[in-house]
Structure 1
Amino acid sequence: MSTGHVLLGLLATGPKHGYELKRAHDAHMPRAKPLAFGQVYATLGRLQRDGLVTEGDRDRDAGPERTSFALTDAGRARLDEWLTAVEAPAPFVASELLAKVVVALLAADSRRAGDYLAAQRAAHAARLRELTAAKLDPESALGDVIAADFAISHLDADLRWMETTIARVGELQQGVQA
């Protein structure tokens, strides 16, 4: 995820200061890693340097001075370009889960790899239950439901891979150690 593009998208609805952008990000991207204030302001600085946002009004409502930022025409064009670009599927398999299974087979044995996969499967299943409950909660916002659906799909794929791998772990050890 590009923080800059997300901030441009949030500014597409109108000028906002850094604190509002952080709040909007965390509200609209509920399952994403929360943004740090420093990250918001550093990203705004780069966007401003590149002519994608401009400083707007400054206000001091019961606190420190706040500068709002607004999307420029170039910023809107960059946002539109990003929104229409198709994401290429990842060219390489890069997963901590996959790495741990291969290393467990290399450094230990099929029992250890199987034990790891069983423990990981239990953790995935628990997270799947949490997300399903959040998704089905009538109080959940649409952003929460969409994020839960995304995470559930990925967890489900991981669980299917783990089931297949557990069934093959003995065979895999022979192949990895060859």
Structure 2
Amino acid sequence: MATAELVLGLLSGGPAHGYDVKRGHDAWFPDSRPLAFGQVYTTLGRLERDGLVEVVEKTSGGGPDRTVYALTGKGRDHLTDWLTDPVPPAWGNADEILRKLVAAVRTGGDAAAFVARQRASHLRRIRELQDNPAEQDPTSPIVRDYIVAHLDADLRWLDGALDRISQQEVSE
């Protein structure tokens, strides 16, 4: 995931604390894994080092220091370039499901049982998403549709993989 660019996008609305960046990310992607605070601050540090964000305010009080970050011109240009650059079709970074299935087949593991467990997990997640309405903002339904479509594609791939494995077992 392009965490740095998402942080830049979150800061495009105006200066913010790291806590606000984390909350904004989690609101943008409510059906995904929350962004860890450590990742937020590490990313902000890298972005500052690279001149894409700057510290505009730093306060300390009774608690930890509160640093406010803002986009720089370079950061805004980087965000614009990222948003206009199409994402290449995914291949070459094998998904963990593929890695586990290949490892199960190659090591003599129970590939059929793995596929059955993975299918059940995917079906459970689809049901969760369908049973709980998406947030009422312009992007939550889009994110939800994307997740469900990918889960569905994985299910179809798992079924095809199981067919291939079964055919290989019969021919051996």
Question: How does the TM-score come out when normalised to structure 2?
Answer: 0.85
Write out the 4+ residue segments of structure 1 that deviate beyond 6 Å after TM superposition.
none
Distance 1:116 1:49, change over 3 A: closer
Distance 1:107 1:63, change over 3 A: closer
Structure 1: 5+ residue stretches without partners: none
Distance 1:161 1:124, change over 3 A: same
Whether contact under 8 Å (1:53, 1:71) holds in the other structure is: yes
Residue 123 of structure 2: which of 125, 138, 154 is its match?
125
1:144-155 to 2 correspondence within 5 Å? 144-155=140-151
- 3-state secondary structure, aligned to 2:112: helix
Distance in 2 between the 1:79 and 1:36 partners? 21
Whether contact under 8 Å (1:57, 1:67) holds in the other structure is: yes
Shift of 1:81: 0.4
> How many residue pairs get matched?
172
1:1-178 to 2 correspondence within 5 Å? 1-59=1-59, 63-92=63-92, 94-108=94-108, 112-134=110-132, 137=133, 141-173=137-169
* Greater Rg over alpha carbons, structure: 1
Distance 1:81 1:139, change over 3 A: closer
Whether contact under 8 Å (1:30, 1:143) holds in the other structure is: no
| Worse overlay, 15-24 or 34-43 | 34-43
Aligned letter for 1:28?
W
Distance 1:162 1:91, change over 3 A: closer
Distance 1:14 1:162, change over 3 A: same
Distance in 2 between the 1:87 and 1:107 partners? 34
Q: Which has the higher helix share?
A: 1
Aligned letter for 1:87?
V
Whether contact under 8 Å (2:134, 2:140) holds in the other structure is: no
| Worse overlay, 77-86 or 160-169 | 160-169
Question: How does the TM-score come out when normalised to structure 1?
Answer: 0.83
Aligned letter for 1:115?
A
1:75-104: CA deviation from partner (whole Å, max 9, x where unpaired):
100000010111111232612222333333
Structure 2: 5+ residue stretches without partners: none
